[in-house]
Structure 1
Amino acid sequence: MTAWREVLHAFVATWRAMLSDSAAMMLLFAGGIVYSFFYPLPYAKETVQRVPVAVVDQDRSALSRQITRYASAHPAIQVVAVSADLREAQDLIWRNEVAGMLFIPSGLQSKVAAGRAAEVEVAGNGIYMMLNKAALNGLAQAVGTVSAGIEIKRLSAATPSSAQAQAQRGPVGLNAVALFNVREGYGAYVVPAAAVLIIQQTLLLAVTLLFGTWAERGGFPVRRDVAGYVGMWCAVACVPILNSLYYFGFVFWWQDYPRGGNFGGLMLFTLLFAFAVSAFAIMVGNLFRSRERSAQLLVCTAMPIIFLSGVTWPVEALPDVLKAARWLIPSTPGIQGFVALNQLGASLHEVAAEAVGLVALMVASVSLGYWRWHRMEKAQRRRWSAQVPSASPAANQL
């Protein structure tokens, strides 16, 4: 019972220390709440629509006007300029007034009427990836629709019905259905992964800030023994558990992102991730001796970490060293596991590799963290003994 009382005492003391530090509380809880509304805001529309484009029509034929009408009717793009001058359309792209351009060369209709191959060109502004993709795809689909109609008319002349002509034009039908990201939006793709990173980074910054503060003051709120470490570890682990419940239980529902694929597995994985990331934060926190140093060094690590997770950048494109090193960060298995469980409905068996990665990282973080924790205690005792003045012979005689 004495050991459990010491663990409980360390648990309460750690929570008291966290609650008494306003900056740490901002990072632990307020930061996650602010991010939950601020980060998804740019992706609220989910899909890009009505991207401005220009059409350069040098053919000035019925076919070119039909292509322009189909482009104007496409929901992803909006034709804002039609001209025969290529330079004028290029200037519009340079001035960011349009995101793409369709070039229809002269003689297009005559080539199509003669049965020869005819080509049009599309160009986009590659600086803005989402706008560029919408503009190029929209223009290409408009041209493809007109081209398919021309081919069906030719086939109809040699077949009894238009249905047979359409069957010859597309013998294999394609019906694409998005199973999980049903709207195929960017927010539903990136925010669930970024939420895990937010939970990790806010905890990491807060814990390192607290450790730096305690090191500056020369005193820690808990004893530097096993019971003190376990109590502190459990107290810190409560923070990612609460933040995970907030994000997965409320934010995803509020933002209407795919969720709830495997609730039981999600809860078990949340506990595993919480204890792994808290042990990792304590291990890193033991390295800091000043309050401000942690923010200076860690605030710029979020972007590399999200790329290493394998969500926004393919793992196959990473160097072999980074492929192995990325598993040293809890967010890597955490993001992959949470997305699979919460969005894709995977089973625990299907995220076994991520779970094993978290367990291995937790064991290593606890071992290194406690070793550093205990070593700091010995060093502090040596400093204290060196600062105590030795008794004078006269005092000994007295």
Structure 2
Amino acid sequence: MSFWATFQATLHAVLKDQGVVLLVVIAPIIYGFFYPWPYAKEQVLQVPAAIVDYDQSDLSRQVFRFAAANPKISVRALPSERAAKEALWRGQIEGYMVLPAGLKRDVLHHKAGHVAVAGNGSYLLLNKSVLYGFAEAVGTVSAGIAIKQFSAQGMSAEQALIAAQPLKLHTKAYYNISEGYASYVVPAVALLILQQTLLIGVALFVGTLVEQQQSQVRPSAWCGRILAFCCLAWLVMGFYFGWLFTWQDFAKGGNTLGTLLLIVLYAPTLVVWGALLGLWFKVRERALQVMLFSSLPMYFLSGFSWPSEGLPSQLQAVRWLIPSTAAIQASVRLDQMGASVSVVAPYLLNIALLGGVGFVLLLLVGRHSAD
């Protein structure tokens, strides 16, 4: 069959195959709507925490009030540290702060007061909210005490404020302005979702062709099949980058041309490797069975959720053989940070090389099978 005839036949066959359409088109769209949903609030607020007050002074009660007013944590009082530990073990709280006896006495004698904070390190986001919430409460009270001490020495209110805070820290979040978890994780995971659904969908289709002994075609026919899948993949990727991320109010860097270049390279690379997997597995369902469990390792290897420097040296090299690794790095820089194409050129080159190698292998394997 000619290039265009194969293209039309493949597109028609794909649209008739409910399993392939579900994976290549419908599943990514469903993921796009429902995956960000649990993270809609972006930030973790009102994390349950506790304060053990052994001092029972007006100072310790002031710390409690400031902690209770912090939106990051929801504070309750517990009678002892043992009770706080038991509540932490039972999952009733995610952290606690101990205000020791004699805290106010130490402050009045110009000694450093010490408070202890414990958090559940098993859940990083919850632990961060607890630690930050208590730190902000103690820091605010400490600044107030310092201002009163400087005022007692004869300083004006403005001088006391400057003396208490000689260095002013102004923080500004770039790109992820809301500092939310969804804005951080969803745009990166989206590239992995697109990869896995497309790889499995193409492998299913090619596996069916192998079972029907129709996979042995000329290079021009393979090009037609690749283009047919690419057209569907480009539409889905355009849905993600063109509408979904904007609708979810994720950060947009504005390098639209660079993002389009990424999409143009990413889709055919995934299609050719999906076809190779289909030829390798030879059985339609095997692609789903094998590839379904590879998503999480691929995400960790991408260097996004876990620093790549923390990976063994062997994995640091192997991870670049996975298209999503370079695609995630390029996508975040182009679509969220507005980086230029020259900045992400190494990542785009990596995707292009994977696609080129996969295309040559596909033609060689297809030709060998045909012979």
Question: Would you call these one fold, judging by a TM-score over 0.5?
Answer: yes
2 CA distance for matches of 1:156 and 1:279?
Answer: 73
Q: Could you tell me which residue of structure 1 aligns to residue 246 of structure 2?
A: 253
Deviates more, 1:156-165 or 1:48-57: 156-165
- 1:310: how far off? 1.3
Q: Could you tell me which residue of structure 2 aligns to residue 13 of structure 1?
A: 9
The aligned runs of 1:261-340 (5 Å cut-off) are 261-340=254-333
Indicate the SS of the match to 2:52. Answer: strand
Aligned residues of 2:49 and 2:74 also touching (Cα < 8 A) = yes
- Give RMSD over aligned pairs: 1.4
Per-residue CA deviations over 1:193-231 (Å, capped at 9, x if unaligned) read 1111111100011111112212122223xx611211111
- 1:30: how far off? 0.8
Aligned residues of 2:203 and 2:276 also touching (Cα < 8 A) = no
2 CA distance for matches of 1:179 and 1:283?
Answer: 41
Aligned residues of 1:310 and 1:332 also touching (Cα < 8 A) = yes
1 CA distance for matches of 2:326 and 2:278?
Answer: 21
The aligned runs of 1:213-228 (5 Å cut-off) are 213-220=208-215, 224-228=217-221
Q: Could you tell me which residue of structure 1 aligns to residue 122 of structure 2?
A: 127
Find 1:203's aligned residue among 193, 198, 207.
198
- 1:276: how far off? 1.8
1 CA distance for matches of 2:18 and 2:189?
Answer: 25
Per-residue CA deviations over 1:134-168 (Å, capped at 9, x if unaligned) read 11110111111111211222222335312222222
Q: Which entry has the higher C-alpha Rg, 1 or 2?
A: 1
> Where do 5+ consecutive residues of structure 1 fail to align?
379-398
Per-residue CA deviations over 1:288-345 (Å, capped at 9, x if unaligned) read 1111111111100110111111110111111111111111111111111111111111
- Which residue identity does 2:174 align to in structure 1? L
Deviates more, 1:255-264 or 1:359-368: 255-264
1:364 aligns with 2:360: no
- Which residue identity does 2:136 align to in structure 1? Q
Aligned residues of 1:279 and 1:362 also touching (Cα < 8 A) = yes
1:86 aligns with 2:78: no
Aligned residues of 1:248 and 1:259 also touching (Cα < 8 A) = no
1 CA distance for matches of 2:139 and 2:44?
Answer: 20
> Where do 5+ consecutive residues of structure 2 fail to align?
none
Deviates more, 1:259-268 or 1:66-75: 259-268
> Segments of 4+ in structure 1 off by > 6 A?
none
Per-residue CA deviations over 1:237-264 (Å, capped at 9, x if unaligned) read 2232111101111211221111252112
Q: Could you tell me which residue of structure 1 aligns to residue 137 of structure 2?
A: 142
2 CA distance for matches of 1:265 and 1:284?
Answer: 29
Indicate the SS of the match to 1:313. Answer: coil
Q: Could you tell me which residue of structure 1 aligns to residue 73 of structure 2?
A: 77
1 CA distance for matches of 2:346 and 2:167?
Answer: 38
The percent identity for this pair of structures is 42
Per-residue CA deviations over 1:32-61 (Å, capped at 9, x if unaligned) read 111011110110010011111111001101
Aligned residues of 2:53 and 2:98 also touching (Cα < 8 A) = yes
- TM-score norm. by structure 1 comes to 0.90
Per-residue CA deviations over 1:167-193 (Å, capped at 9, x if unaligned) read 222222211111211100000000001
Find 2:52's aligned residue among 49, 56, 71.
56
Find 1:350's aligned residue among 324, 327, 343.
343
Indicate the SS of the match to 1:287. Answer: helix
Q: Could you tell me which residue of structure 2 aligns to residue 176 of structure 1?
A: 171
Indicate the SS of the match to 1:78. Answer: strand
Task: Quickly say closer, same or farther: Cα 1:104–1:238, change in 2 above 3 A.
Answer: same
Find 1:115's aligned residue among 104, 110, 118.
110
Deviates more, 1:11-20 or 1:189-198: 11-20
2 CA distance for matches of 1:198 and 1:246?
Answer: 13
- Which residue identity does 1:26 align to in structure 2? L
1:373 aligns with 2:369: no
Indicate the SS of the match to 1:101. Answer: strand
Aligned residues of 1:180 and 1:258 also touching (Cα < 8 A) = yes
